[in-house]
Structure 1
Amino acid sequence: MSPPLAFITGASSGIGQALAARYAQAGWRLALVARRTEEMQAWAAGLRLDESRCRIYGADVAQIDSIVAAGQRCLAESGVPDVVIANAGISIGMDTRERADLDVMAQTFALNNTGLAATFHPFVAPMVQRGSGRLVGIASVASVRGLPGHGAYCASKAGVVAYCESLRTELHGSGVRVVTLCPGYIDTPLTRGNRYGMPFLMQPEAFADRAFQAIEAGASYRVIPWQMGWVARLLRWVPNAVFDRAVQGRGRKKRRGEH
């Protein structure tokens, strides 16, 4: 029997690339999606992963037909994955007073939400027919409460949590598990420009190892690291008046074009 197969989007850097490396280390075959295919080819070559171990698909996850086509190519070339990780996402600050930032919000939802559903789409029916598989949505601790200047990102990640929960209930009893992972602060290009403190900052490799374990266990929802899980629980119960005062003066996510 051939090794199991993991299909991962946003694999050219950060969490996605760390997850790809972790699955490769475990002996899995990889189907990796990214816009920067040349970088991905070089990365695979550096790990000595030939085409029998790693196939790379160029796609724009924000374009429905593009990511759906990548998934269909994977099915045709490698079969039904055992794990699909919808990791691709963006985080850009926004100010609702600025017209251009409404476009930022639309682009964020197109990638973080519609793109996630489109990533899963080609695989749901084949997985159900087989009676097994894991669909993994990468959300964020930012899904728990809205933060100033983070309206697009927080809303999109709250949407990921709700969507994955809906999908999980739809697929209950089918053998297909839906796993929602909520990273805290991970040291990636997405976070390095942040202008505020990032408690319990993790390296992407450490996150990938814990994520791998959570996915293998079939966890329905997991916050990583666990310390941020306790922070998330606390934030859910903090009264709005207290929360609103606490976040005043907090640094905002950089808007597009800000340095």
Structure 2
Amino acid sequence: MNTDPTGASTPTTAAATDAHANAPLVFITGASSGLGQALAAHYARQGWRLALVARRLSVMQAWCEHLQLPPWQCRLYAADVAEPASIRAAAEQCLAQQGLPQVVIASAGISHGIDTGCWEDLPAMQQIWQTNNLGMAATFIPFIGPMRTRGSGSLVGVASVAGVRGLPGHAGYSASKAAVLAYCESLRGDLRGSGVKVTTISPGFIDTAMTRDNPFPMPFLMPADAFARQAAAAIARQSSYVVIPWQMGWLARLLRVLPDWLFDWALAGRGRKPRKTPGDGQDKGGPQP
């Protein structure tokens, strides 16, 4: 797929654009892998137009070519959600070139193991929060005003069951996902009555590259395509909050009410995600426990 110097795919022919102008549009971050890519594949199969955002433009190009997506259906934007100016530029290009999306999904996220007693892990924690929290806000902001004016639209924040309680060795990620839960809840209240809906999706364990190095059991592990189908259904229903798979929803409720001593005991022997440092090349393809 051809791209222009800004990283967006080149415009399609006028005839192709006109023929599919009424197809709904979804804007997805973290689209080069993981949950973001799975969601993109699902919406592509449903005939939606795609505005896909990730740092790795070449990976998205190869994916679109593999699926043989027609040029009218997919436009790509190279951007890093951790850099507000970058994601803002991608959102503004989308608005100018494709129009206002019906759905915006903030799926980009990273997960590093953290030792909170080590100074050298502080930059990794900062990187997690910059990507998972400020990146989500920067993704939504360009679309909130236009959606309010139109009186419709869906903003979707991908959180995690890991945000329900703080997990040992996972301080940065658990804190970031707890913040996503609170942020989306606040945003939902801010937009009440505007016609703009906010959906928070908390994945459990989904089979992606991000979970495959987890050194601990992953109950109810779900294929990424099954997750995408259920997530899209929740978005279509305009659900305010959903845990996928549903079994992890019950586990999340249990974790929330466990007394501290029992929670600490239950997690005492749990394996920990490997520590990583900023710039290690981990993709921002969607958060999971």
TM score, norm. by length of structure 2? 0.88
Query: C-alpha displacement at 1:37, in angstroms?
Result: 0.5
Inter-partner Cα distance in structure 2 for 1:51 and 1:130: 27
Inter-partner Cα distance in structure 2 for 1:248 and 1:142: 16
- Paired letter, 1:20: A
Inter-partner Cα distance in structure 2 for 1:46 and 1:3: 22
- Aligned twin of 1:105: 125
Query: C-alpha displacement at 1:233, in angstroms?
Result: 0.6
- Aligned twin of 2:72: 52
Identify unmatched segments of 5+ residues in structure 1: none
Aligned-residue Cα RMSD (Å) equals 1.0
- Aligned twin of 1:200: 220
- Aligned twin of 1:151: 171
- Aligned twin of 2:235: 215
Query: C-alpha displacement at 1:246, in angstroms?
Result: 0.9
- Aligned twin of 2:36: 16
Q: Secondary structure at the match of 1:15?
A: helix
Inter-partner Cα distance in structure 2 for 1:99 and 1:240: 27
1:168 to 173, 184, 188: 188
Q: Secondary structure at the match of 2:222?
A: coil
- Aligned twin of 1:37: 57
1:191 to 198, 207, 211: 211
What number of residue pairs does the alignment pair up? 258
Identify unmatched segments of 5+ residues in structure 2: 1-20, 281-289
- Aligned twin of 1:250: 270
> How far does the alpha carbon of each residue in 1:111-157 deviate from its partner, in whole angstroms, 9 at most, with x for none?
00000000001100000000000000000000111110000000000
Q: Secondary structure at the match of 1:107?
A: helix
- Paired letter, 1:170: D
The structure showing larger relative contact order (alpha-carbon pairs under 8 Å, at least 6 residues apart) is 2
Identity of aligned residues (%): 61
Inter-partner Cα distance in structure 2 for 1:3 and 1:168: 26
- Paired letter, 1:139: A
TM score, norm. by length of structure 1? 0.98
Query: C-alpha displacement at 1:51, in angstroms?
Result: 2.9
> How far does the alpha carbon of each residue in 1:91-124 deviate from its partner, in whole angstroms, 9 at most, with x for none?
0000011111111110000000000000001100
Moved over 2 A (4+): none
Q: Secondary structure at the match of 2:201?
A: strand
